[in-house]
Amino acid sequence: MLVKSMLDFIFDEIDFSPQITSFQGIHLWVIHAEKIPPHIGLSIDNYYFSLKANGRDDAIQVNSILQIISKKEIGTLLIKLKSNTTLNQMKAEFDKFESAQDLNSTCLVPIKRCLNAPKKILKLSDLLHYLKAEGEILSVFGLHLNNDYKGIEKYSTIEIQQRITKLKQC
């Protein structure tokens, strides 16, 4: 188990036995949740969006993403949010980017725009602290994570840039 001082954000409660049958509404996806840095995507109803080093996922069916996560047993958090973002708004924000390039175009940037989060937010933990303070987090589900998983590890913006650079070389 991680020592709490190594965590940048600790979840109040995570449901590790989710029987998710509906993806109505907005969900923040934290993929490779136990890694530094994790990858994030956003879904509305059954459509998933994410900005990646090699392009973007644009309105992919949620079940396709779930199949990959299940097949590869990727540690993932699904965070149901109380957002009023629409599918059109989400598509418009993601359409502004071709791929993750640097700190001005990480996987976080279009998501924080969709959620009307402050520009000063640079990391997932910052976004989660903001969403929690605003009362936007409705529930958190954990897939393929140990039951002692508590939250997002500390990492720097330098580590984000290094990860993007490494993925672009693959």
Q: What is the pLDDT of residues 76-113, one digit of tens each?
A: 999 999 998 999 999 999 999 999 988 889 999 999 99
Angstrom distance (rounded) from CA 66 to CA 98: 23
CB 153 within 8 A of CB 30: no
What is the arithmetic mean of pLDDT over 14-40? Answer: 89
Angstrom distance (rounded) from CA 68 to CA 47: 15
CB 61 within 8 A of CB 128: no
Q: Residue 158 CB: number of other CB atoms within 10 A?
A: 9
Angstrom distance (rounded) from CA 134 to CA 67: 32
* pLDDT score for 19: 72
What is the arithmetic mean of pLDDT over 113-117? Answer: 95
Q: Is the pTM of this model over 0.85?
A: yes
Tokens representing 111?
């998501």
Q: Which residues pair with 141 in a beta bridge?
A: 15, 78
Per-residue pLDDT band for 22 (boundaries 50, 70, 90) equals: confident
CB 79 within 8 A of CB 65: no
